[in-house]
């Protein structure tokens, strides 16, 4: 817009100068020659100044274009650096996930071995414990009871400890689930996403 106005103003100066120089005869003589020379000099200076302003304007436009190009190049460099860092991070995460998967597989195999040994030895241990208890008199004579009258104490303690173990397991897993849900809610919260966008 400013460039068009300056060009228009320069054209107007050229038109006025041309009309002024085309005056002849009485009209030219009527105006004193020193005054005419002074007006012509002023017109020339004005045109020269307008041309200088237009050149400066073009230089400023070129500088702005150069700054825009440099800024775009810098932004592209930054984005490339960020993408490269993201790629490195993703590679590290992939390696870590692979290591975790291998370790999980090893631990799973170990747990299966432990479970197998438990299934083999637990029934044997239970039977051996029952036969070794004083609650049973395997050599009782006729008229004596094989089962002790305190067998109810064994039943109460066994049921009580079993319920206590189940309750502890339930509370522990419930607490872990609550912590996992809290962590998931934090990572899925809009506030965290907005924070990462601004960062």
Given a cut of 80, is residue 191 above it in pLDDT? no
Mean of the pLDDT values across residues 174-185? 84
Residue 72: predicted pLDDT: 92
Q: Residue 9: exposed, middle, or buried by beta-carbon count in 10 A (0-12, 13-18, 19+)?
A: middle
Residue 99, token pair as written in the block: 């290591």
Closest CA to 34 of 42, 45, 22, 46: 42
Residue 34: predicted pLDDT: 67
Q: What is the pLDDT of residues 30-86, one digit of tens each?
A: 455 666 667 667 777 777 777 888 888 888 888 999 999 999 999 999 999 999 999
Instruction: Determine phi and psi for 147, rounding to 5 degrees.
Output: -90, 135
166 or 158, which is more confident: 166
Q: Rounded distance, CA 136 to CA 145, Å?
A: 8
Mean of the pLDDT values across residues 88-93? 92
Residue 26: predicted pLDDT: 41
Q: Rounded distance, CA 50 to CA 52, Å?
A: 5
Residue 30: predicted pLDDT: 47
Q: Residue 72: exposed, middle, or buried by beta-carbon count in 10 A (0-12, 13-18, 19+)?
A: exposed
CB 72 within 8 A of CB 64: no
Helix (H, G, I), strand (E, B), or coil: what is residue 140? coil
CA dihedral 80, 83, 88, 94 (to 10 degrees): -160
Mean of the pLDDT values across residues 152-180? 89
Residue 194: predicted pLDDT: 55
Given a cut of 80, is residue 1 above it in pLDDT? no
Mean of the pLDDT values across residues 144-164? 86
Given a cut of 60, is residue 192 above it in pLDDT? no
| Mean pLDDT value across the chain | 80
Instruction: Give the list of residues 6+ apart from residue 53 with CB closer than 8 angstroms, or none.
Output: 6
Given a cut of 60, is residue 90 above it in pLDDT? yes
Q: Rounded distance, CA 125 to CA 117, Å?
A: 12
Q: What is the pLDDT of residues 112-147, one digit of tens each?
A: 999 999 999 988 888 888 778 777 777 777 777 888
Q: Write out the DSSP string of 135-196.
A: TB-TT--TTS-SB-TTHHHHHHHHHHHHHHHHHHHHHHHHHHHHHHHHHHHHHT-HHHHHHH
Residues of the chain with pLDDT > 70, as a percent, come to 80
């Amino acid at each position: 817009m400013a460039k068009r106005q300056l060009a228009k103003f320069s054209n107007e100066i050229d038109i006025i100068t041309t009309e002024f120089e085309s005056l002849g005869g009485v009209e030219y003589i009527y105006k004193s020659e020193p005054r005419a020379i002074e007006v012509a000099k002023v017109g020339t200076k004005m045109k020269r100044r307008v041309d200088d302003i237009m050149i400066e304007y073009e230089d400023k436009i070129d500088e702005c274009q150069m700054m825009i190009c440099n800024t775009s190049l810098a932004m592209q460099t930054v984005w490339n650096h960020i993408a490269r860092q993201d790629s490195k991070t993703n590679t590290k995460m992939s390696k870590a996930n692979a290591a975790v998967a291998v370790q999980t597989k090893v631990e799973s195999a170990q747990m299966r071995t432990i479970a197998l040994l438990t299934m083999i030895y637990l029934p044997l241990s239970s039977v051996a414990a029952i036969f070794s208890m004083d609650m049973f008199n395997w050599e009782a004579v006729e008229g004596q009871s094989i089962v002790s009258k305190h067998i109810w104490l064994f039943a109460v303690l066994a049921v009580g400890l079993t319920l206590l173990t189940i309750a502890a397991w339930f509370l522990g897993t419930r607490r872990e689930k609550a912590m996992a849900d809290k962590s998931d809610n934090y990572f899925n919260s809009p506030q965290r996403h907005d924070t990462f966008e601004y960062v």
